[in-house]
């Protein structure tokens, strides 16, 4: 599964599911949005995650499961177990890693076994990461993962389109991999350890119009097993969860129930179709403007917005509206999506011409 296909599915409601395996991480990156570290122990119970993923069926499943953290490869056995279970239902698995293991020579055996069960592997790389794991070591590990026949990409983060680091690292990736490995480039957001210094989230001024939210499309399993409709880190960590963003819990609900709640909510349908800022502006104009995601967290507490959503987006008409908006965004392609939600100047890198898979035959088969 190449990066462009993965990102292209992002606006599709319930087209994927994001699963955070742990908040633990051996690294102490200064910009970490989740506040992860070696001593943090918050993570969902393995049995609950396995039960949830085992509820995927050929007729009712996400197209892709994205495993993240913290550092998901601190639970390599769980990674392999979940990926095999998902594959049995037809769901492909992608994983993003901070590459702590690259500091050793060669892939550690547990990591190798876990990676071979994946359909896509993304390596995080940015200036704070490089202070802990050298770039050359990350490149070496990515090459080794390609040799296993797994599609690879880089997940890069910088301070913006004028960041000299981003210019340097993207050029180095292009040289080192011959333009065949794609990259998703994002900007540091003011969450976690970057909350005090990163560029603040943009306030959406009144009159700007509809800005659909593709980030409300995939359910997100949080560190405590709660399932939310949003991947914004402030929202993922917030308790209680805003009612319209709460989809369930992996210890109690299966995929079918979570999917039904996501697809059936009139308010979520309109968030995905026109965006939270437009809803606030149109039906609660007296509510002060906040950040885009801050506006969304307020919606369930605005009776006028809730009533409008129930009137406009319930039933079959609302489902059709949601589907039409998703198809429009999907049709615009992954580059357009990254221009909106990532670092626009580097959006084209999400679709590297040669893709992320090593053109040479894999040295080990997926079943070996």
pLDDT tens digits, 36-80: 778 778 999 999 999 999 999 999 999 999 999 999 999 999 999
81 and 192 assigned to the same domain: yes
| Residue in 92, 104, 106, 49 with CA at minimum distance from that of residue 72 | 49
203-220 as b/e, with b when 16 or more CB fall inside 10 Å? Answer: ebeeeeeeebbbbbbbbb
Is pLDDT at 362 greater than 60 in this prediction?
no
255 and 347 assigned to the same domain: no
pLDDT digits (tens, 9 = 90+) for 271-289: 999 999 999 999 999 988 7
Residue 174 has what pLDDT? 96
Residue 105 has what pLDDT? 84
33 and 78 assigned to the same domain: yes
Q: Considering only residues 188 and 161, tell me which one the structure prediction assigns the higher pLDDT.
A: 161
Q: Is residue 60 part of a domain?
A: yes
Residue 67 has what pLDDT? 98
Residue 249 has what pLDDT? 98
Q: Is residue 218 part of a domain?
A: no
Residue 364 has what pLDDT? 35
Is pLDDT at 368 greater than 60 in this prediction?
no
CA–CA–CA angle 232, 260, 325 (5° rounding)? 65
> 2-16, 202-216, 247-261: lowest mean pLDDT where?
202-216
Compute the mean pLDDT over every residue in the chain, rounded to the nearest whole number.
Answer: 90
Q: Is residue 147 part of a domain?
A: yes
Q: Is residue 33 part of a domain?
A: yes
Instruction: Check which CATH number belongs to the domain holding 172 and give it.
Output: 3.20.20.70
Percent of the chain with pLDDT over 70: 90
Q: Is residue 356 part of a domain?
A: no
d(CA 152, CA 76): 18
Percent of the chain with pLDDT over 90: 76
143 and 243 assigned to the same domain: no
346 and 242 assigned to the same domain: no
110 and 237 assigned to the same domain: no
Is pLDDT at 108 greater than 90 in this prediction?
yes
Residue 280 has what pLDDT? 92
Domain count, the chain: 2
164 and 108 assigned to the same domain: yes
Residue 17 has what pLDDT? 98
What value does the mean pLDDT take over residues 254-276? 97
- Give residue 305's pLDDT band: very low, low, confident or very high (50, 70, 90): very high
Residue 8 has what pLDDT? 94
Residue 35 has what pLDDT? 73
338 and 191 assigned to the same domain: yes
Residue 188 has what pLDDT? 78
Global pTM exceeds 0.85: yes
170 and 310 assigned to the same domain: no
What value does the mean pLDDT take over residues 316-328? 92
Q: Is residue 367 part of a domain?
A: no
d(CA 151, CA 337): 21
| Residue in 258, 188, 250, 183 with CA at minimum distance from that of residue 217 | 258
Q: What share of the chain is helix, strand, coil (3-state, %, to 5)?
A: 45, 15, 40
44 and 193 assigned to the same domain: yes
- Residue 182 near residue 8, CB atoms below 8 Å: no
Print the SS3 string covering 270-328. HHHHCCHHHHHHHHCCCCCCCEHHHHHHHHHHCHHHHHHHHHHHCHHHHHHHHHHHHHH
Q: Considering only residues 292 and 355, tell me which one the structure prediction assigns the higher pLDDT.
A: 292
Provide the residue range defining the domain that includes 99.
3-200+333-351
Q: Is the bond preceding residue 70 a cis peptide, omega within 30 degrees?
A: yes
Residue 200 has what pLDDT? 60
49 and 185 assigned to the same domain: yes
140 and 13 assigned to the same domain: yes
pLDDT digits (tens, 9 = 90+) for 191-239: 555 455 456 655 555 556 678 998 999 999 999 999 999 998 889 999 9
CA neighbours closer than 13 Å in the CB half-sphere of residue 209: 0
**CA distances for 260 relative to 48, 248, 264, 267, 291, angstroms:** 19, 11, 6, 14, 28
Q: Is residue 364 part of a domain?
A: no
Q: Is residue 205 part of a domain?
A: no
- Give residue 360's pLDDT band: very low, low, confident or very high (50, 70, 90): very low
């Amino acid at each position: 599964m190449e990066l462009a296909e993965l990102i292209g599915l992002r606006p599709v409601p319930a087209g994927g599911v994001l699963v955070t395996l742990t908040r633990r991480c051996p690294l102490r990156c200064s910009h970490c949005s989740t506040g992860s570290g070696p001593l943090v122990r918050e993570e969902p119970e393995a049995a609950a995650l396995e039960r949830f993923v085992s509820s995927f069926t050929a007729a009712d499943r996400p197209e892709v499961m994205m495993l993240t953290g913290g550092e998901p490869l601190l639970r390599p056995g769980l990674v392999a177990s979940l990926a095999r279970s998902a594959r049995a239902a037809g769901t492909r698995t992608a994983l993003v890693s901070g590459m702590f293991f690259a500091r050793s020579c060669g892939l550690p055996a547990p990591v190798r076994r876990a990676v071979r069960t994946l359909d896509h592997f993304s390596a995080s790389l940015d200036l704070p990461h490089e202070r802990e794991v050298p770039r050359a070591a990350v490149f070496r590990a990515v090459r080794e993962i390609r040799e296993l026949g797994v599609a690879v990409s880089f997940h890069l983060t910088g301070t913006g389109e004028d960041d000299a680091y981003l210019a340097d690292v993207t050029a180095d990736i292009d040289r080192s991999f011959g333009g065949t490995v794609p990259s998703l480039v994002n900007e540091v957001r003011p969450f976690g350890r970057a909350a005090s210094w990163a560029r603040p989230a943009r306030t959406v001024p009144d009159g700007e119009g509809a800005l659909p939210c593709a980030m409300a499309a995939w359910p997100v399993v949080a560190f405590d097993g709660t399932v939310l409709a949003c991947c914004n880190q402030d929202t993922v960590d917030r308790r209680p969860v805003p009612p319209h963003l709460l989809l369930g819990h992996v210890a109690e609900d299966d995929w079918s129930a979570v999917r039904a709640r996501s697809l059936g909510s009139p308010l979520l349908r309109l968030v995905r179709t026109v965006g939270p800022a437009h809803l606030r502006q149109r039906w609660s104009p007296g509510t002060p403007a906040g950040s885009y995601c801050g506006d969304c967290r307020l919606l369930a507490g605005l009776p006028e917005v809730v009533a409008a959503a129930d009137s406009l987006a319930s039933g079959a008409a609302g489902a059709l509206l949601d589907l039409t908006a998703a198809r429009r965004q999907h049709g615009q392609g992954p580059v357009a999506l990254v221009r909106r939600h990532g670092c626009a100047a580097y959006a084209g890198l999400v679709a590297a011409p040669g893709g992320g898979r090593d053109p040479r035959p894999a040295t080990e088969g997926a079943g070996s």
